[in-house]
Amino acid sequence: MSRLIENPGAIFRRPVLAGAVVVLLLSSTALPAQARETLRIGYQKSSTLITLLKTQGKLDKALTEADIDVSWHEFPSGLPLLEALNVGNVDISADVADTVPIFAQAAQAKLTYFAQEAPSPSAQAIVVRKDSPLQQLADLKGKKVAVTKAAGAHYLLIAALNKAGLKFADIQPAYLSPSDGRAAFENGKVDAWVTWEPFLSGVQRQLPTRTLADGTGLASYKRYYLTGNAYAKQHPEILKLVYEQLQEAGHWAKNHPRDAAQVLGPLWGNLDVETVEAANAHRSYQVQPVKADQLDEQQKIADAFFAAGLLPKAVDAGDAQIWAP
């Protein structure tokens, strides 16, 4: 516009329409459209609250209204999800078990906690077949136990063995995914299975089982939401929006258990509504801020895995950053 004002005669010698076109062209080049921000979300099918938000379109809508696009990236488990977060392939992670950030920290990942779900100790357990001769935790000595490596259930197993006066080396761990663990358990290839919801309610409702122990008094089982350190510093407003949406989803899931189960059942391998409701009853879904003085159990988890020879080095849980809403 300033060049036109400096040479007004040139404008007036052109047709009015041509002058208008020039003005529009100069305006469009002087004020380019700002590129929209894109939030890349990593999640698992078992990421309940994020899955609800994704399926119902609520988070996409809230972010779109804030001029933010969304891309969704599914991962088979928590460890590869946090690896992708660490190298910058996603911006935030949906919930992962409390053990997963410890393994990520051992790999020198630079992570920031931005939300947690309140403890859900009964959402994971050690199960045996109903006719199994194993009656107590001490009976696991020398037995083959299916567990998913680095999952929250992995720490439950370590804590339960410690309670029984056993070491991790006293059992034969079979590191299996939940689906493979279920198959091995069902076919008698392992003596016990340590798993979490919704796999726990699924096996309890579909097979004759007994529970040797759940997490009560052993492992509180929190679920954490994380982002990279740089992203937390650069985009606190996006984290706040996501945090608020997660809180709303948690309230909705608890207040509408049947509706939530109908949404989640098809996503969880076509589980029936009653099984999903039973699974969700064991989860708190209370989204809360993470506080530094609440990382004590994270340190216990880190110390337990290191003592069992499952971490390459000791981990200080407090080295992770915390974002507060």
**Model confidence over 45-86: pLDDT tens digits?**
889 999 999 999 999 999 999 999 999 999 988 889 999 999
* Paired tokens of 251: 């309230």
Do 261 and 182 sit in the same domain of this protein?
A: no
- Residue 263 in contact with residue 52, Cβ under 8 Å? yes
**pLDDT score at 34:** 55
In this predicted structure, the answer to whether residue 279 has a pLDDT above a threshold of 90 is yes
Q: Are residues 91 and 238 in the same domain?
A: yes
Domain boundary among 192, 214, 236: 214
Mean pLDDT of the chain: 89
Is the predicted pLDDT of residue 4 greater than 80, yes or no? Answer: no
Q: Are 104 and 227 part of one and the same domain?
A: yes
Same-domain status, 143 and 230: no
**Residue 96 in this model has a pLDDT that exceeds 70:** yes
In a domain, 27, yes or no: no
Asked if residue 22 is part of any domain, the answer here is: no
Which residue range forms the structural domain that includes residue 206?
A: 124-214
2 located within any domain: no
Q: Mark whether 146 and 173 lie in a shared domain.
A: yes
For the residues 289-299, what does the mean pLDDT come to? 92
Residues 96, 130: one domain? no
Task: Identify whether residues 88 and 229 lie together within a single domain.
Answer: yes
pLDDT tens, 245-270?
999 999 999 999 999 999 999 999 89
* Range list of H helices, 187-272: 199-206, 229-234, 236-255, 257-267
Same domain, 250 and 204: no
The predicted pLDDT at position 35 comes to 66
Clarify whether residues 161 and 137 are in a common domain. yes
Q: Mark which of 191, 214, 237 sits at the end of a domain.
A: 214
Same structural domain, 136 and 173: yes
Quote the number of domains for the chain: 2
pLDDT at residue 77, rounded to an integer: 84
Helix axes 236-255, 257-267, angle to 10 degrees: 110
Please indicate, yes or no, whether residues 130 and 255 belong to a single structural domain of this protein. Answer: no
Q: How sure is the predictor about 10, in pLDDT bands with cuts at 50, 70 and 90?
A: very low
Is residue 10 domain-resident? no
Tell me, what's the pLDDT at 317?
94
Same domain assignment for residues 204 and 252: no
* Cα–Cα distances in angstroms (integers) from residue 86 to residues 99, 107, 213, in the given order: 16, 10, 34
User: Residue 226: beta bridge partners?
Assistant: 93, 113
pLDDT at 22 over 90: no
DSSP 56-110: HTHHHHHHHHTTEEEEEEE-SSHHHHHHHHHTTS-SEEEEEETTHHHHHHHTT--
Lowest mean pLDDT among 8-17, 59-68, 97-106: 8-17
Residue 136 lies in a domain: yes
- CA 86/CA 47 separation, integer angstroms: 19
194-235 pLDDT, tens digit each: 999 999 999 999 999 999 999 999 999 999 999 999 999 999
Instruction: Name the domain boundary from 167, 187, 214.
Output: 214
pLDDT by residue (tens digit) across 305-318?
999 999 999 999 99
Q: Is residue 261 part of a domain?
A: yes
Residue at 28 is within a domain: no
Helix axes 273-281, 199-206, angle to 10 degrees: 130
Any idea which residue has 């726990």 for tokens?
200
Mean pLDDT over 122-136 rounds to: 97
pTM of the model: 0.85
CA-to-CA distance for 42 and 80, rounded, in angstroms?
10
CATH number of the domain where residue 207 is located: 3.40.190.10
Is 190 within a domain? yes
